[in-house]
Chain A
Amino acid sequence: MAFHNILTLSSLRRHLDANGLRFSGRKLRLALVLIAIGVVGRIVFLSLRLANIETVMVASLLAGSLLGGLYVVIVPVSILLSTDVIIYLAKYPGFYPLQDVALLAMFVYSGFVLVSLVGMASRRHVVFKLKSVAILTAISIPATILYDVWTATGMWWTILGRPPSSLSLLQVYSAQVPFTFFHVLSSLIFVPLFGTIFIYYLGQPSALPSPTPASADEP
């Protein structure tokens, strides 16, 4: 019945919207803005030599919670790909062997996609009200910690756990602690800031439709 129902154009459109798969102009523009925020923030704070103060986290979280669908992958991956080219080719070329960097990149990229998925899991609760900022801020803390644990594990597995560093996993986690506190600080500042802006913007009359649960009985 569900397959028959998506055969009409309008029902196909509803099906794609319900699952966040249609690249509507408005969603695409919002995604581009999130990508720009992630790129500019990452480069600016790295230029100021402020490690772990970045806007990729908030862009990924908002992509998941406000856009959903394929934007969960597109937004964080676009930010990282475009900035990594600048950072690792122009700024710190060849510091680590390329194959190790590529392996580490898998952890970093998947980490931010994971954050985006966490944001998407909260999507039903983000209904373009200001209290949604509180929800997003609250989930940004465990999302940031989860990301840091995941990438620290990757850093140990690909680089620091091997010679010449030869650090234990516990040593890597211990060294990560102050970085994580500053990373959480970054999330506590940027998530409410950008979350408020985007939720207010999307709460306008011409806003995106609220996320609706997929249903086999949809007409």
Chain B
Amino acid sequence: MAREISLKTIDDRFRRKIGEISGQNFQQCFQCGTCSGSCPMTEHLDLMPRQVMALIQFGQADALDAAKTPFVCASCHTCMVRCPRGLDIAKIMESVRLVKLRRNVNEIEPSNLQPEDITEMPQLAMVSGFRKLTS
């Protein structure tokens, strides 16, 4: 879908926030797509990691706010070890998640989890899931 990139649509505050939280210089990304080719979750993503990087570079906060991809990321760090620019893309994905979660928005609601789904679940699944997907 065509997207207008202009001074009107570039959210510089969002860009700065992503830089601060992730500690990464996302402008270094040159769109090679190695991350997209490495991600085990690609078939479940709405945006490829490369596209997330481009949208951050252009400060497209709205598109990223609506994106599923950062919340499908399992922080496996495969993209990070393969990125030719040395970017920690897992940290960048975390920063996109946190911009949303820090508005007190939950991606999953712990109280909605069904007993039959969590009875057998080990603690570390829940601790890590709540850490990553709730505010």
Q: Do A and B bind each other?
A: no
Q: Chain A interface (Cβ within 8 Å of chain B)?
A: none
Q: Chain B interface (Cβ within 8 Å of chain A)?
A: none
